[in-house]
Chain A
Amino acid sequence: MIRVEDLRVTFQLPRRTVDAVRGVSFEIEPGECVAIVGESGSGKSVTARSLVGLAGPGARVDAVRLEVDGQDARRFAPRDWRRLRGGFAGLVLQDALVSLDPLRTVGAEISEVLRVHGERSRSARTRQAHRLLEEVHVPEPQRRAGQYPHQLSGGLRQRALIASALAAAPKLLIADEPTTALDATVQAQILRLLAERRAAGQTLLLISHDLAVVAQLADRVLVMKDGRIVESAPTKALLTGAVHTYTRTLVEAAAGRRRATGPAPGPVVVEATALRKVYGDRAVVRDVDVTVRRGEIVGLVGESGSGKTTVAQLLFGLAEPTSGQVRFEGQRFSGVPERARRPLRRRLQFIAQDPLSAFDPRWTVRRIVAEALPRGASPAPFLERVGLGEDVLDRYPRQLSGGQRQRVAIARAIAPRPSLIICDEPVSALDVSVQAQVLDLLAEIREQDGTALLFISHDLGVVRDLADRVLVMHDGRVVEQGPASAVFDRPAHEYTRELLAAVPTLEVPA
């Protein structure tokens, strides 16, 4: 179905050329499910998009052989590509909130595919759109078809996106990070949906940075790094006997690794009692108690909308609780003017999910870290602690990789020697392999400085690997809490069990 030999893609940028893909060969047979795994920048997305002629603006695609649907695609004119798109191959991208046109209803998006592929009658298109939505298990398809992406939940709109990609019954479905933006339980549902399509004979090409996600589905995995395929093997063989070191890091990262627990917890750093936050007539946080002691890593898990970020804001003094109170290092931290909080602020730091938007883009790394230090102090030692050399000092956030940026964020957070760092999804935007390194770093800082961490995440796998104690939030309440081992090994609450079941795990065959 697809035959690629020595595929090369270069991007001609104003100042330099980037070799995104450097000689990749693979084949996809009908009915197969092939996965390309690699970190961001490895060239996996570009490889996949080259198969439908959408490598991107300014891309030069060369290949010894580029056979798509039995035709030589190297000489394709735009109209030849258009004929294949949608009909031969459907494309599903990461986040349906932006991958579906936000100004059009999902029904209109699906029916557009049908129109492009020759369905003239409007009413027939509408009927088919409803049927397609039903096929991907969207309840009340008639009503949903008339809604806009932002009115649907993350899972529903991802289903709608898949429905639109499937509308013209393509032979090949290309899914590029189809679940990366989703909560664990929703991710599990979408993976189940893809598995269902696969069982029905759909040929699939999956792209992901997370081996655990694709391992359940794929027959074969291609591991990409720096524009090359470093290893290619049937999934089972890859998990048990990876040859390449990079593949082994990926397998290890996906399997997860429990980090050492820290020293015995010290005195209470932050204590919140009976926190309640109401926005309008909606209680977002209801009767939440949180205590974090010195040297402790407390995981706060829950899906989006569970109220975990609001709890973080309340603890951090960014929002006032409707009732209940927060004490930080024994002093009142809620219900007092900001003036009273300010002297304590240095002892309480924050790491955000996306440091790119948390940093001033016009500041160099030097200035970003130095801001957290007394005047004249050098930021270099803190960068060294997070494993960055002096060469990054004069760079701007944009010029760093995601992992480097998060290291800078950590350097800035530890610079004032805080007693507590609140980390809100600190690794969710990172590749799995980079995630592991950042988690190692956080564990090390706790170990050496005795800094307490409140670690907020929707990713249970990450929390399991790092936290001593876990609080599980659902609908604004803490439904379960306890030592990490107890919660993860013997979940008491129904919701926790559901969450755990949804975590994609690598079951490495013995």
Chain B
Amino acid sequence: MITAILRRAGAGLLVLWAAATAAYLALLAAPGDTVDAIVGDGADTPGIRAQIIQEWHLDRSAVVQYLDFLLRAAHGDLGRSYLLQRPVSAVIGSQLAPTLKLAVAAAVFGVVLALLFAVTARRLTSTAGLILVSTPPFLIGIILLSIFSFRLGWFPVSGDRGFAALVLPAITLGLPIAGTLAQVLRDGLDRALDEPFAVTARARGLRESGVLIRHALKHALLPAVTMLGWSFGVLIGGTVIVEQVFGRPGLGQVTVQAVNSSDLPVVLAVVILAAAVFVVINTVTDLAYLLIDPRLRRS
């Protein structure tokens, strides 16, 4: 048990390291000079440039900078933002909450909608799901905005004030998840309902809804959980777009800004954070398997 946990943790660290390194290399290869990025729109004189190089230790070789970055990251120090001149952890920290709120709301909405659809309207699921999956989120967002915000005025157009502001972005982000998830669930339900144990359950006098909820649903959850883990990746990517469309603060906005201005430390931090979320989600997924399927538990 303990070795299993240690192995998991080790693998997680490896993933984090790989993600950070890949991002580091990609940014290194990107056009543009770090000094330019730090100077930004500010005054640009040789003196200032020299000062920047000295202050940020940019005179060291790329390898040394990389190792230094790793060492600091290992201690939890993600450096300072070139652009905002604040510690990265503070930048991320202030923007994390709105994004998290959005992601969780979208996930909950997606799961609930998928469950409702798969359980009550299995026949409809396929078509509805396909439409939802094949529509890009920004389009859904714009359609929702134009109907519910501009025309009906039920929800604010942008910002992050209160629950009302969360509704449309969460729906935008959650709908595609609901679409895929509902399809996976429906497929799993159909398959489970064909199994002999479903016949046995019916032969006990159980209602069809009872067979569905008490037996088939748990079987359908297994592939759905895998799907949900994957969806979180989509969520992280999706927040970037949705936050833009709805003008919400959050990591998405920060990321777009950081990438546009080559703010290396912030981009790296976002990548590491995303990788960490992935590791956590995958671990949770694996644990959920064990919870759902006793056959996977080792005695």
Are A103 and B200 in contact, CB atoms less than 8 angstroms apart?
no
Are A117 and B205 in contact, CB atoms less than 8 angstroms apart?
yes
Q: Does B201 contact A (CB under 8 A)?
A: yes
User: Interface segment, A89-97, A313-321, A447-455?
Assistant: A89-97
Main secondary structure of the interface of B (DSSP, over half): helix
Are A116 and B206 in contact, CB atoms less than 8 angstroms apart?
yes
Q: Does A82 contact B (CB under 8 A)?
A: yes
Q: Answer whether A103 and B205 are a contact pair too, CB < 8 Å, given A91-B200, A98-B196.
A: no
Are A86 and B199 in contact, CB atoms less than 8 angstroms apart?
no
Distance of A52 Cα from B292 Cα, bound (Å): 31
Distance of A385 Cα from B206 Cα, bound (Å): 51
Distance of A378 Cα from B276 Cα, bound (Å): 59
Are B196 and A93 in contact, CB atoms less than 8 angstroms apart?
yes
Are B205 and A100 in contact, CB atoms less than 8 angstroms apart?
no
Q: Does A83 contact B (CB under 8 A)?
A: yes
Residue with the highest number of chain A CB atoms closer than 10 Å, among B195, B202, B205, B295:
B205
Are B201 and A101 in contact, CB atoms less than 8 angstroms apart?
yes
Q: Does B214 contact A (CB under 8 A)?
A: yes
Chain A, residue nearest B195 (CB): A98
Complex interface: chain A residues within 8 A of B197 (CB): 98-102
Are A54 and B201 in contact, CB atoms less than 8 angstroms apart?
no
Are B215 and A101 in contact, CB atoms less than 8 angstroms apart?
yes
Chain A, residue nearest B217 (CB): A103
Q: Mark B172-196, 1 if CB is under 8 A from A, else 0.
A: 0000000000000000000000011
Q: Answer whether A54 and B205 are a contact pair too, CB < 8 Å, given A103-B218, A103-B219, A150-B294.
A: no
Are B294 and A100 in contact, CB atoms less than 8 angstroms apart?
no
Q: Does A299 contact B (CB under 8 A)?
A: no
Cβ < 8 Å to B, chain A residues 72-128: 78, 82-87, 89-91, 93-95, 98-104, 112-113, 116-117
Q: Does A457 contact B (CB under 8 A)?
A: no
CB distance from B291 to the nearest CB of A (A): 10
CB distance from A384 to the nearest CB of B (A): 38
Complex interface: chain B residues within 8 A of A78 (CB): 208
Q: Does B68 contact A (CB under 8 A)?
A: no
Complex interface: chain B residues within 8 A of A113 (CB): 204-205
Q: Does B36 contact A (CB under 8 A)?
A: no
Q: Does A306 contact B (CB under 8 A)?
A: no
Distance of A112 Cα from B203 Cα, bound (Å): 12
Q: Does A188 contact B (CB under 8 A)?
A: no
CB distance from A188 to the nearest CB of B (A): 23
Distance of A195 Cα from B201 Cα, bound (Å): 25
Are B196 and A52 in contact, CB atoms less than 8 angstroms apart?
no
Q: Does A432 contact B (CB under 8 A)?
A: no
Are B201 and A112 in contact, CB atoms less than 8 angstroms apart?
yes
Q: Does B286 contact A (CB under 8 A)?
A: no
Q: Does B77 contact A (CB under 8 A)?
A: no
Complex interface: chain A residues within 8 A of B199 (CB): 49, 54, 91, 93, 99
Complex interface: chain A residues within 8 A of B203 (CB): 52, 54, 85-86, 89-91, 165
Distance of A54 Cα from B218 Cα, bound (Å): 23
Are B295 and A86 in contact, CB atoms less than 8 angstroms apart?
no
Chain B, residue nearest A161 (CB): B200
Q: Does A435 contact B (CB under 8 A)?
A: no
Q: Does B44 contact A (CB under 8 A)?
A: no
Q: Mark B149-173, 1 if CB is under 8 A from A, else 0.
A: 0000000000000000000000000
Q: Does B207 contact A (CB under 8 A)?
A: yes
Chain A, residue nearest B200 (CB): A99
Cβ < 8 Å to B, chain A residues 37-93: 49, 52, 54, 78, 82-87, 89-91, 93
Q: Does B293 contact A (CB under 8 A)?
A: yes
Complex interface: chain A residues within 8 A of B214 (CB): 112
Q: Answer whether A86 and B205 are a contact pair too, CB < 8 Å, given A91-B199, A161-B200.
A: yes
Are A87 and B205 in contact, CB atoms less than 8 angstroms apart?
yes
CB distance from A82 to the nearest CB of B (A): 5
CB distance from A147 to the nearest CB of B (A): 9
Residue with the highest number of chain B CB atoms closer than 10 Å, among A98, A103, A148, A164:
A103
Are B202 and A85 in contact, CB atoms less than 8 angstroms apart?
yes
Distance of A117 Cα from B207 Cα, bound (Å): 12
CB distance from A151 to the nearest CB of B (A): 8
Complex interface: chain B residues within 8 A of A161 (CB): 200
Distance of A298 Cα from B226 Cα, bound (Å): 48
Distance of A295 Cα from B159 Cα, bound (Å): 85
Complex interface: chain B residues within 8 A of A99 (CB): 196-197, 199-200
CB distance from B92 to the nearest CB of A (A): 40
CB distance from B212 to the nearest CB of A (A): 12
CB distance from B41 to the nearest CB of A (A): 60
Distance of A117 Cα from B204 Cα, bound (Å): 9
Distance of A99 Cα from B200 Cα, bound (Å): 6
Distance of A358 Cα from B201 Cα, bound (Å): 32
12 A-B pairs within 8 Å (CB atoms) are namely A54-B202, A93-B196, A93-B199, A98-B196, A99-B197, A101-B197, A103-B293, A112-B206, A148-B294, A151-B294, A164-B204, A165-B203
What 4 pairs across the A-B complex have the smallest Cβ distances?
A91-B203, A86-B205, A85-B205, A86-B204
Given A83-B205, A101-B201, 12 new contacts (CB under 8 A): A52-B203, A94-B196, A98-B195, A99-B197, A99-B200, A101-B197, A101-B200, A101-B215, A103-B294, A116-B204, A116-B210, A168-B205
